[in-house]
Amino acid sequence: MTNNPRTPLPKIIRAAFGAWLAAAVLVAVAGISFITSAQTQHRDGAALTSLGLVTLAVAVVMGFYALRLRTGKRSARETLTTVGMILGIPLLFRGPALVALGAVLLLCVLLLWLPQSSRFFQERDPKARRRLLGRRRP
């Protein structure tokens, strides 16, 4: 594979892209749900609204970096992995509806680290080789 943006994306990257976009939509729906609940409840309204806004911001970050996956940016894989792990693991312990969302996020993370995905990122955005003390090799 070359750095030509016109070369077709591997199936695993297309699957990861679609999964991350779907996860971003699910997280956005959760954020909207929190905001809607804040409007209907008379207690904890400010807290639920804040939680909803933070959740919507996370959904936007997920969507943005999902788009960057298609270009093979290693930073997209790293950011989405971080978000997926930070959100996914705790959600596994928060009840049936949130367990499903946590499992989806962790599945999305898994797609980014399969051998086919790693090859794609290595070819599109290779790591710079560094020597001791952070100096680049020529």
Task: Look at residue 137 in the predicted model and tell me its pLDDT.
Answer: 55
Report yes or no on 136 lying in a domain.
Answer: no
Task: Look at residue 39 in the predicted model and tell me its pLDDT.
Answer: 87
Report yes or no on 135 lying in a domain.
Answer: no
Do 123 and 115 form a contact (C-beta atoms < 8 A)?
no
Report yes or no on 24 lying in a domain.
Answer: yes
The contacts of residue 84 (CB under 8 Å, 6+ apart) are: 23, 105, 106, 108, 109
Confidence (pTM): 0.82
Task: Look at residue 20 in the predicted model and tell me its pLDDT.
Answer: 97
Report yes or no on 74 lying in a domain.
Answer: yes
pLDDT tens sequence for the chain (138 residues): 445 556 788 999 999 999 999 999 999 999 999 999 888 887 778 888 999 999 999 999 999 999 999 989 999 999 999 999 999 999 999 988 789 989 999 999 999 999 999 999 988 888 766 666 665 555
Report yes or no on 42 lying in a domain.
Answer: yes
Task: Provide the number of structural domains found in the chain.
Answer: 1
The boundaries of the domain holding residue 48 are: 11-123
Report yes or no on 138 lying in a domain.
Answer: no
Residue 125's φ and ψ, nearest 5 degrees, are -140, 70
CB atoms within 10 A of CB 74: 14
Task: Look at residue 45 in the predicted model and tell me its pLDDT.
Answer: 84
Report yes or no on 2 lying in a domain.
Answer: no
Label residues 91-128 b or e (16+ Cβ within 10 Å = b): beeeeeeeeebbebbbebbebbeeeebeebbeebeeee
Report yes or no on 4 lying in a domain.
Answer: no
Task: Look at residue 125 in the predicted model and tell me its pLDDT.
Answer: 82
Task: Look at residue 126 in the predicted model and tell me its pLDDT.
Answer: 82
